[in-house]
Amino acid sequence: MKRKRIPKYAIYLMILVIIFFISLILTSMDSREFDKSDINVYFCRLDDCGSIINELLIYSNSSIHCAFYSISDADILETLNEKNKKLDVKVVVDKSENTVFQFMKPIESKGIMHNKFCIIDNDEVITGSYNPTENHDENNIIIIKSQELAENYEEEFEELWNAEEGKKTKTPIIKMGNITLESYFCPEDSCAEKINEKLIAANSSIYFMAYSFTHPELATTLVLKSKENIIVKGVMEKSQNSEYSKYDLFRYQGIDVIWDSKPWLMHHKVFIIDNETVITGSFNPTKNADENNDENILIIHDKEIAGLFLKEFERIRKK
């Protein structure tokens, strides 16, 4: 009895169906919408950033490695002290900080150790502009669960803790589904250059919040972009008004920038580009931050996260 041969067109059709379903599975594995279980954004006049960080520290299981310019939040210090009895706890601070805790090490650097980040259990990163102090200034923190990103920050932390010469980040660009992250550390990664590249590439808008803005090249780029009919708006901290500030240059060149002069500090260091890219971290756009200090920046390519920062920008501008 002869077997019936399957027509060639049926075989081709089956192959196409299989390819379709495989591509569908791969696409679903490689892309996702913004997931707050992986990336969380907080603004510290609206959210209690100290309590949020403290809770993460409380639930840590194996290690806590942090780099903070300053730390004086009593609850966080108590948690770190208790965790140090059970876990691997290490914290570096700037040389100006006095400490009585064995797990804390003041860092000697060319400028200041100005970082604000923690790595928890080697798979979660806290970064942004926030120092855990008793002050309640305008700040942001971002909490990201990613082993790849944690590795970048851990390498930087080990360099600081061991007083090693800074090395360029090995894998600065990381994909989290359809979100792209870039992490850089100053001065070895030339942070101002990385920021300038993103500003030059802007097509429609640049919004910025800067505690201090004195960097000449970055200021020049903003002026030039404003002449290209790119929307450029900013808010700067008035207490940093000096002969070096670029505020007067921006105003003279027609850029819509205002002082923030509320009783608390406007301590953000943020650029929002084309409503889809955010640059944040410890880095103020200054020469010192770029060439002398220990700093970090995180660049996030995602429209929803950019939208959160844009709302914060608009809130501060309105007030």
| 195 residue type, one letter | I
Tell me whether residue 7 is in a domain. no
147 plus 197 within the same structural domain: no
Examine the fold and report which residue of 124, 139, 161 is the final residue of a domain before the chain moves on.
Answer: 161
Q: How would residue 32 be classed by pLDDT, with cut points 50, 70 and 90?
A: very low
DSSP structure string for 11-77: HHHHHHHHHHHHHHHHHHHH-----TTTEEEEETTTS-HHHHHHHHHHT--SEEEEEES----HHHH
What pLDDT is attached to residue 27? 42
DSSP string, 124-177: EEEEES---SS---B-EEEEEE-HHHHHHHHHHHHHHHTTPPP---S--EEEET
pLDDT in tens, 135-182: 889 999 999 999 999 999 999 999 999 999 999 999 999 999 999 999
Domain identity same for 102 and 201: no
Query: Which tokens is 303 given?
Result: 């429209």
Query: Is 300 in contact with 288 (CB distance < 8 Å)?
Result: no
Q: Which of 135, 161, 187 is the last residue of a domain?
A: 161
SS3 breakdown of the chain: % helix, strand, coil, rounded to 5? 35, 30, 40
**pLDDT tens per residue, range 119-134:** 999 999 999 999 999 8
CATH number, domain containing residue 104: 3.30.870.10
Active-site residues, by number, are 267, 269, 274
In this structure, is residue 254 part of a structural domain? yes
Distances (CA, A) of 44 to 131, 151, 206: 11, 26, 22
Residue 103 shares a structural domain with residue 182:
no
223 belongs to a structural domain: yes
pLDDT, average across residues 292-314: 98
Q: Please tell me whether residues 292 and 214 are part of one structural domain.
A: yes
Task: Looking at the structure, tell me whether residues 189 and 147 fall in a common domain.
Answer: no
Tell me the per-residue pLDDT of 35-52, one tens digit each, with 9 for 90 and over: 556 899 999 999 999 999
pLDDT > 90 in the chain, percent = 84
Measure the CA dihedral 156/160/163/166, to 10°: 40
Q: Are residues 189 and 313 in the same domain?
A: yes
Domain membership of residue 256 as a residue range = 173-318
| Co-location of 155 and 177 in the same domain | no
Residue 14 lies in a domain: no
Q: What is the pTM of this model?
A: 0.88
Is the same domain home to 184 and 144?
no
Is residue 239, in this structure, part of any structural domain at all? yes
Number of structural domains the chain divides into: 2
Indicate if 80 and 179 belong to the same structural domain: no
Question: Is residue 306 in a domain?
Answer: yes
Q: Are 157 and 192 in a shared domain?
A: no
305 within some domain: yes
Q: What is the pLDDT of residue 134?
A: 87
Lowest mean pLDDT among 18-22, 262-266, 278-282: 18-22
Choose the final residue of a domain: 161, 196, 217.
Answer: 161
The pLDDT, as a whole number, for residue 30 is 38
Domain assignment present for residue 249? The answer is: yes
Residues 292 and 220 in one domain: yes
Are residue 194 and residue 310 in the same domain, yes or no? yes
3-state secondary structure of 9: helix
